[in-house]
Each structure stands twice: as structure tokens, then as C-alpha cells.
Structure 1
């Protein structure tokens, strides 16, 4: 069997930096996103002990003797820490007695402190590094520097692309989970993705939430796929699933905590309004999304196919990935006002500067496609850095003051200045 290539991860530098000055480092992300491989690379030549809580013998010992399980004079790697959250208290005691940095390197496949039975024990002692599935730049060995570039250069940023609509469709369907990326046979990839979602529901989601309607939860995932990149609320799903609003809200929370979906909040300069604005939902991995919608790459190119929503979800998830390593500390939101002006993605850095992004699954763009970006620009004035319409065409073109159309591939092919 041929050896798979080792794809370098942007997160490796973050983990190394955190181990140098922080007692506990958690690499958190979706199952099979490459956490264990990343940890092996980071550990390198260090003296390391390893535990894996997906293995029943390790889990049994961890539950019976938490203090003994975490006792180590070397860097201790513990995979899937969410399986025995009681270990966090034992780790706290250990690092309080011996506060050297780089004591523990943990991996997890759920939002650890969202768990019902996870004690809140490690504030100030632990740094979390988010690991998403592969970005397009990681797969292609490209720089993945769009966010830093657009905040630095604004409308002066330019990019020319040779990526075709067919290639974008293929990238969407492939996604970024390593096992799916390395499977060239579409049928084998689909089998993996089917099993992946089912296993997530059967094991991880049920660990986090009281799931009484497993069949309805599977139906919910497919309904969410059909509505990806749209504003989702629990009450809009009530009649379709015949479940109560609180139950649906709880299931949505569990799906987000296990990194299947992500909710993008609504943007507002009013922080109170931002916290209550309806979020937009995207899937963490576009390959899972396409598989749940039962669409193939060639079918996406046909008239009437859901290329637009899938491309928007793909772009939003690539932006989420890039925000975990970009130099710009920015937050991702979407914009929609009472007059129905909309912007697919709003990036705001800590200085209050804003970049607006629209996504169009077309190789030509019209002035009307900038309607929401123009509203945002006029409202923000000097704080508005640039408005970009990402499209499937080849060139960067001006469309007015601070407004540009640019190929989608700029997301991963542009380097940070």
C-alpha cells in the first residue's frame, strides 16, 4: 500500500509556540481532521508519553485512577480527552504543583467546555489550538494568506487565476478531511463520508446530548445541508422534524460542539444586537455537505444545481480555517439589515476595520452584485477597507471605490504581505 504524503499544517507553528510558554495545550477539532498526525509531527524528537482514550484499556485506567494516568515526567500526549473529562481536574492539580510549560498536549473532538460533565478547571493554564480539516492551501502547498493580504492592501490587492468552475466543483465535493482527500474513487469517498457522519451521531453527539430521536437527528443533518449558507433558527425546523424547539436547539448545539456545523453570527456595530442576531449556518467540511446533498462534481455544473450555496459554504469554511492562523485577529460574521441588504461574509479586526465579501458562483459579475457591499461601505466610511466579490472568473477587476471582483482561488493562492 503506497505511503500517503505528509501534508504540513499551518497549526503546527501555533502548537509549538504554545508548548514553549503554556502548561497545557489542546488541539481541538473535528474527528479525523489530522490531530493525531499533527501531534506526532510537533512531538518530533521530544521525550513523549502517549495515551489514547479511544482505546478501552486506556479509558478504563483513566477512569479508575485519574491522578496516576496523568503522572508523567515527560510531555504527556492524551488523545480524545473529551472521552474522560474527569482527567482535567487531575491535570489541573499536576500543573499547579509543577508549572513548567509544555507538560500536556491534548487532542479533542468536541468543544470541551461545552460538555455537560466537563469541569471548568483549566482557565489560565491551557491554550486551545483549533484544527480544521485541510485548507485548500495546505492541500496544494499554497500560502493561504488572503485575510492578511486584504487587510493590508485593501482594494490594491490583485489576483489572476487559472482555476476553472469544474475545479471549484471538484474541490467542494472533495472537502478537506484527510481520508476523503486521499480517496480518488468518488464512490469510496462517499462511503467514508456516510460512515463518518453516522459514527459522529452514534458516538460523539450522543455523548454530549440526550439524544432520544436518533433517526430525527440524521434527518436534521440532511435538512441543514439543504439549507447551508442560510439563516437557520430552531423554530423553522420544528414542523419538518416534529420535534420541540428546545430539542432542536439542543441538537444544533451538539452538532456544532462536535465540529460538524458552524454558526456564523450576524454582524452589527451594536454588540448587544450582534449577540442576538440570527446566525447563518455552514458545514465545517464541504465534502460532508455535498455528500449529504447527494451531489457530484459534474452535477454541480448543470443548470439549477446548488452550486451557489455550496460555493458560499466552501468559502466561509475556508475563511474560518484561515482565521485560526492569520496575523490579523479578526472575527467572521454575515450582514443583513432590515432593508434586506446582505453581505455573505464580514471580517472585522480589532481596530474596527472591516472587509466585506460576497460569493458568486458565476464567471461574470454585475454592478447589482455589489449592492450589499456598497451599503456596508457607505455606512462604515473610513473603517471599510475593501468589498470583494469572489467569483469563478479569472481576473481582478474594479467596480467602484474600494470595490473589486476577484477569483475565489485568491483565498489560498495569495500570500500575506
Structure 2
């Protein structure tokens, strides 16, 4: 069953006025499903999860664009960063809006390459999990994340996490702070890591779109004030899962 996303209209408008469209966001939020639905079969689809496709894009990006002609949907573009300058050259020469639709899961790694290669040519949309309004009345099932692949796979590619069990403890501890001011020393103690490591890992989660850090308002004339940010899991279902809150009564 396909659930209509609120960003569909925005994506269609941006595609009509920009040469490249990029949809970023955490894994498993429906980026590819959304774009393939909007494409309605009128756009070639390739994924960088395919080792043969990725190899061609990385070793011979020019040949890749000869083989796969726009309009094109490229999935997981962060896995083939060498393709981005060739996409720039292609759109500069041909100039058709909406020629390239891209998805990417690593917003932090991807943004640096996109900024360098496609500035002024690309529209960027950040997609999160379903909102309550999107699923209301549609009988959507409970959120059951595959935390091993959804979270740890991304983090291993971003920072050095040698102990997955330790990182899982950190995730569970971080989830207990959702909606609250973060205390890095207490968080580190719960996860049995150092405070600098806790701060770094939380930044990684924020960059991945899994948590949102709400910084406090600091007036220049305010002598005393709270400086710690509040942390929010962008998907409350994930936070509930990590905390083993399986139903409303437990919550």
C-alpha cells in the first residue's frame, strides 16, 4: 500500500524549475518509493547498491551517462561521488529541468560534494518518516525498525565504531533523552563511553537525520542561561522501540 507524502507537490514543483533534484534522509523512510511513484515509469532507474552500476559510475562516469540517459533516477548517489561533476557538465550543456533525480542517505558526506559540484543547479529536499497526518486513518502498522542495518550500517561509514553493542547502548540511552536537555556526562556514563565520544556520536546521529538538536536561544545580554541543547528523535517510533515502549500503556 502506498501512502501519499506531503512533499510530493513540493518535489514536483522543484523538479520543474531545477536541473537536479536531491532527496536526502535516513534509510528506510521511503525516498526511493516516493520518487519511483512520482516518476510513473517515465524515468530510468539505477541504484548504486548494484556493484556493476557503481563500478561503472566510479571508474567511467562519462560512459555511465552515455549508457543511462536522462530523465534518470539515481539511488544512493553518495556511493558514487565521482559521478557528480559529470552530472554538472551534462546539465550545463543540455539545460533541461528535472533531468536528474537523486537520493542519498548520508546527508553530511553528500552535502559537501553536492555543494562543490552542483551549486545553483540542484534543489534539495529532506524526507523524514511518515507524519501522523500522513498515516491518519489509513491503518498503518506499528513501526518495527531493523536497527542493525538502519542505524549501525550508516554509523560505521561515518565514524569509528568498533563495538556495535556499545553503540546500541548509546542509542538506547540517547532515546531516553528525547524531548529533554542533553547531559553529555550522564549520557556517556549510561552508555559506558567518554563524554567527547557521546557528543561526537550524537552529532553523527544529527547529521544522519536520526535526531534533531534544538539549540537554546542565547541573548547577548543574558548573563546566565541554559547552553545545553534539547535532543529529539525525528521518528518517535524509533525512540519508543529503543526504550522498549511497545504500547500506549507502557508509554
Q: Are 1:131 and 2:117 matched, yes or no? A: no
Distance in 2 (CA, whole Å) between partners of 1:246 and 1:86 is 33
Contact 2:58 2:81 in 1 (8 A): no
Distance in 2 (CA, whole Å) between partners of 1:216 and 1:291 is 17
Q: Are 1:50 and 2:45 matched, yes or no? A: yes
Q: Which residue of 1 aligns with 2:209?
A: 259
Q: Which residue of 2 aligns with 1:22?
A: 18
Aligned pairs for 1:61-72 (under 5 A) are 61-71=56-66, 72=68
User: Shift of the alpha carbon at 1:248?
Assistant: 2.3
Q: Which has the larger strand fraction?
A: 1
User: Shift of the alpha carbon at 1:252?
Assistant: 1.3
User: Shift of the alpha carbon at 1:217?
Assistant: 1.3
Distance in 1 (CA, whole Å) between partners of 2:195 and 2:115 is 28
Alpha carbons of 1:295 and 1:241: their partners in 2 closer, same or farther (altered >3 Å)? Answer: closer
Distance in 1 (CA, whole Å) between partners of 2:60 and 2:115 is 17
Alpha carbons of 1:36 and 1:222: their partners in 2 closer, same or farther (altered >3 Å)? Answer: same
Q: Which has the larger radius of gyration?
A: 1
Q: Are 1:280 and 2:230 matched, yes or no? A: yes
Alpha carbons of 1:120 and 1:290: their partners in 2 closer, same or farther (altered >3 Å)? Answer: same
TM-score by length of 2: 0.85
TM-score by length of 1: 0.54
User: Shift of the alpha carbon at 1:269?
Assistant: 5.7
Q: Which residue of 2 aligns with 1:38?
A: 34
Alpha carbons of 1:137 and 1:83: their partners in 2 closer, same or farther (altered >3 Å)? Answer: same
What are the superposed Cα offsets for residues 317-371 of structure 1, whole Å, 9 maximum, x if unpaired?
xxxxxxxxxxxxxxxxxxxxxxxxxxxxxxxxxxxxxxxxxxxxxxxxxxxxxxx
Alpha carbons of 1:119 and 1:14: their partners in 2 closer, same or farther (altered >3 Å)? Answer: closer
User: Shift of the alpha carbon at 1:286?
Assistant: 1.3
What secondary structure is seen at the aligned counterpart in 2 of 1:129? strand
Alpha carbons of 1:236 and 1:42: their partners in 2 closer, same or farther (altered >3 Å)? Answer: same
Distance in 1 (CA, whole Å) between partners of 2:202 and 2:130 is 24
What secondary structure is seen at the aligned counterpart in 2 of 1:77? strand
Contact 2:214 2:231 in 1 (8 A): yes
User: Shift of the alpha carbon at 1:22?
Assistant: 0.5
Q: Which residue of 1 aligns with 2:159?
A: 209
What root-mean-square deviation, in Å, do the aligned CA atoms of Structure 1 and Structure 2 show?
A: 2.8
Distance in 2 (CA, whole Å) between partners of 1:246 and 1:256 is 15
Q: Which residue of 1 aligns with 2:107?
A: 111
Q: Which residue of 2 aligns with 1:146?
A: none
What secondary structure is seen at the aligned counterpart in 2 of 1:127? strand
Higher relative contact order (CA 8 A, sep 6+): 2
Q: Are 1:243 and 2:243 matched, yes or no? A: no
User: Shift of the alpha carbon at 1:45?
Assistant: 5.6
Q: How many residues align?
A: 247
Alpha carbons of 1:103 and 1:241: their partners in 2 closer, same or farther (altered >3 Å)? Answer: same
What secondary structure is seen at the aligned counterpart in 2 of 1:282? strand
Distance in 2 (CA, whole Å) between partners of 1:257 and 1:288 is 17
Alpha carbons of 1:116 and 1:75: their partners in 2 closer, same or farther (altered >3 Å)? Answer: closer
Contact 2:20 2:99 in 1 (8 A): yes
Which residues of structure 1 form unaligned runs of 5+?
143-180, 301-306, 308-417
Distance in 1 (CA, whole Å) between partners of 2:112 and 2:197 is 15
